[in-house]
Amino acid sequence: MAELKNDRYLRALLKQPVDQTPVWMMRQAGRYLPEYRELRAKAGDFMSLCRDADFACEVTLQPLRRYDLDAAILFSDILTIPDAMGLGLRFETGEGPVFDRPITCLRDVEKIGIPDPEDELGYVMNAVRTIRKGLNGDVPLIGFSGSPWTLATYMVEGGTSKAFTKIKKMAFAEPQTLHLLLDKLADSVISYLNAQVAAGAQSLMIFDTWGGILSPRDYREFSLRYMAKIVDGLTRENEGRRVPVTLFTKNGGQWIEEIAATGCDAVGLDWTIDISDAKARVGDKVALQGNMDPSMLYASPERIQQEVQHILEQYGHDNTGHVFNLGHGIHLDVPPENAGTFIKAVNELSRPFHK
Ligand code: 1CP
């Protein structure tokens, strides 16, 4: 395998010194890029892009050709696991993901098995192997999964939700059913992520997009506990290097001590917490990723630069431990040149902080 030419992202996650703050963007491949829209039209739909290793590789590399990014992220989706469990995933235009056979009761949960990552999910592993070759050691490749709680919200709600009444009804009226589902999901995520590492992923990220809709007690019981189980089960070293793990709970700023205590290497932050506050609370234990509001990319170049400078100052002169990112995925109507302004600003403005 080609030697890694730029390992800033891996080094910062492990709190080793770096010459500038590494940067990548959540959802950096996607609809805000015209070249993505073109390829998706050619593939037909989103899942056809994911299932074809050459398409998935091409889409992963598209943002890296435009911008000086320090990491690539596997082009896939968190909903591949529920799809492999037989729930029948469709992406309806304008409607987001929909499951034909959502989980409604204990019997549904009992029926589902742990997908074999090299069989039902073999297309994802093929994509990882193809992307690793395509990257040719330029930057590390991030593998990822949804958290069990976040996956369960889609599986029980049957798609995207606003009020989350079905999953909360299950959590509070039938907790054993939900725990059985979350436990099966945790086992599935462990085997899926370990297979991604074996296929070539050099770092792992778990997206807990919906953990932040829970009370602190329920967050611990239904989300954090299962992410901790996953962290315990992951391969943490491969190809002679540590494979860093980042946990991201959107709206999880109040729980970062507990998230850091899982043994993860880094905690992802949205924009509702000051990174200086996060650093004071957990900076001795973990690296931090974040935390610019993705809507800042609608602003003028001067305003974007000012915000980058502000976040860098908040993190301070520490040489390592910060991976710059948006606090959530880039919006689909952001002009690509604004993303360029953002990435250039991190690359240039962060250097004085690493002297
Ligand atoms: O129409 C299209 O072309 C599909 C849009 C799209 C894309 C580009 C979807 C459907 N998924 C993806 C790719 C994707 N999703 C990636 C890889 C690309 C990259 O980051 O560059 C990743 C990491 C995800 C992760 C993902 N999918 C999350 C967790 C992160 C987050 O943004 O919160 C979630 C919640 C999903 C579900 C999902 N998949 C797609 C959509 C539109 C959604 C969100 C639905 C909702 O709002 O509930």
29 C-beta closer than 6 A to ligand 1:
yes
Q: Is 77 a catalytic residue?
A: yes
In the predicted model, is pLDDT for residue 92 greater than 80? no
Question: Given this model, what pLDDT does residue 302 score?
Answer: 98
Residues 138-171: tens digit of each pLDDT: 999 999 999 999 999 999 999 999 999 999 999 9
**Alpha-carbon distance 137 to 132, whole Å?**
8
Beta strands in 226-350 (DSSP E): 237-238, 241-242, 245-249, 266-268, 287-292, 322-326
Q: How far is the CA of 311 from the centre of ligand 1 (A)?
A: 26
Question: Given this model, what pLDDT does residue 129 score?
Answer: 98
In the predicted model, is pLDDT for residue 116 greater than 90? yes
Exactly one of 31, 66, 225, 281 is catalytic; which is it? 31
Report the percent of the chain where pLDDT is more than 90: 97
In the predicted model, is pLDDT for residue 269 greater than 80? yes
* Position in ligand 1 atom list of the atom nearest CA 28: 21
Contact 278, 256 (CB under 8 A): yes
Q: How far is the CA of 12 from the centre of ligand 1 (A)?
A: 25
160 C-beta closer than 6 A to ligand 1:
yes
Radius of gyration of the chain (CA): 19
In the predicted model, is pLDDT for residue 292 greater than 80? yes
Tokens of 131: 């992307």
* Position in ligand 1 atom list of the atom nearest CA 146: 29
Residue type, 116: D
Exactly one of 40, 90, 241, 281 is catalytic; which is it? 40
Residues 199-219: tens digit of each pLDDT: 999 999 999 999 999 999 999
Mean pLDDT for the chain overall: 97
Q: If residue 9 lies in a helix (H) or strand (E), which one and from where to where?
A: helix 8-13
Q: How far is the CA of 56 from the centre of ligand 1 (A)?
A: 14
Domains defined along the chain, listed by start: 21-272 (3.20.20.210)
Q: Which residue owns the Cα nearest ligand 1 atom 24?
A: 77
Residues 171-192: tens digit of each pLDDT: 999 999 999 999 999 999 999 9
Sheet with 72-73, edge to edge strand ranges: 72-73, 141-146, 203-208, 245-249, 266-268, 287-292, 322-326
In the predicted model, is pLDDT for residue 52 greater than 80? yes
Which has the closest alpha carbon to 76: 251, 196, 180, 181? 196
Provide the H-helix boundaries in 34-104: 34-43, 46-51, 53-66, 80-82
Query: How many other CB atoms sit within 10 Å of the CB of residue 16?
Result: 15
